[in-house]
Amino acid sequence: MISVSAVLYTTSIILILLGLYGALTRKNLIRTVISLDVIDLGVNIFLITIGYIKDGRAPIYVVGSGSLSDQAARMADPLPQSLVLTAIVIGFGVTAVALTLIMRLYEKRKTVEVSETRGLKW
């Protein structure tokens, strides 16, 4: 029996590496930003997997469905979930600024290709 978290960890690492490959090799800046988002996605899956427990439930107390301590004993780890919430918002903020920068550069240059923008070679 393959463990659920092993599958999720593998998926997340593959996503991170795919995104990294894209970010390093793509010349189109829009694609680079998409690659960055793929990395972010992988990282978020990675973080949320850390909070996975076997047969866990959502970490929310429900009044009137069993004693609170019973509920507490079956909850998944809420901490990684809250970290992911923060990480998603931060990733969103970065993407918005990145796209605006690219749009602005496109206005000046009429291209979003790295190879045609001198300063962006690295």
Partner 1 sequence: MVSPMILIALPLATAFLIVLIGSRVAARWLALAAVALLVGLAPFWFADILRNGPMSIVLADVLPPLGIAFGLDALSAGFVLLIAVSGLLVLLYSVPYIPHAGQFEGAKKAETRYYALFLLLMAGSFGLVMTKDIFNLFVFFEILCISSYILVAYSQEERSLEAGIKYMILGSIGSAFMLVAIGLSYRVAGSLAMNDIGLALAAAPHGYALLVAVLFTLGFGIEAAIFPLNTWLPDAHSSAPSSISAVLSGFVIEVALVVLVRIGISVFGTLMEPALGVLALAGVVVGELAALGQKELKRTLAFSSIGQVSIMLFAFSLGTQSGDWAGLGQLLMHTGAKSALFLVSGYFILRTGSHEIESYRGLARRMPAAAAFFSLAALSLVGMPPFFGFFTKFRIIEVAAAARSALGYAGIVVILFGTVIEAVYLFRIVRVLYGGAIEGARSDALVGIEAAAGADGATPFADGATQGALANAAGSLASAATPTRADLPALAWIAVAGFVALVLVGGFAFPWFDQALQPIAAALATL
Partner 2 sequence: MRKVIGFLLIASFAFFIVSLVARDLWVDDPSQVRTLGQAAIGQTIPQSGAANTVTAIVVQFRGLDTLGEVTVLFLSALGVALLSGEFAGRGLSELFADDGGFILHYGTRLVLPLIALVGAYIVAHGHLSPGGGFPGGVLIATAVFAVLMTNAQQRLSTRLMAVIEGLAGLAFVGLGTLGLLGDKFSFLANVLPKGQLGYLFSAGIIPLIYAAVGTKVAAELSTLVTSLTGSDRDGGEDHGASSIPADTQGGAR
Q: To 5 degrees, how large is the angle CA 91–CA 95–CA 100?
A: 155
H or E element: which one contains 63?
A: none
122 binds partner 1 (CB under 8 A): yes
Which residues between 54 and 83 bind partner 1 (CB under 8 A)?
A: 79-80, 83
120 binds partner 2 (CB under 8 A): no
Task: Please list, in sequence order, all residues whose beta carbon lies within 8 angstroms of the beta carbon of residue 43, skipping any fewer than 6 positions away.
Answer: 12, 16, 87
Task: Please list, in sequence order, all residues whose beta carbon lies within 8 angstroms of the beta carbon of residue 107, skipping any fewer than 6 positions away.
Answer: none
53 binds, among partner 1, partner 2, none (CB under 5 to 8 A by kind): partner 2
Contact track, partner 1, 88-107, x by CB under 8 A: --x--xx--xx--xx-xx--
CB of 61 to partner 2, least distance (A): 4
15 binds partner 1 (CB under 8 A): no
How far the first Cα of the chain sits from its last, in Å, is: 45
d(CA 57, CA 69): 13
d(CA 30, CA 59): 37
Q: Which is nearer to partner 1, 20 or 76 (CB)?
A: 20
Residues in contact with partner 1 by the rule CB under 8 A: 16, 19-20, 23, 29, 32, 36, 39-40, 42-43, 46-47, 50, 79-80, 83, 86-87, 90, 93-94, 97-98, 101-102, 104-105, 108-109, 117, 119-120, 122
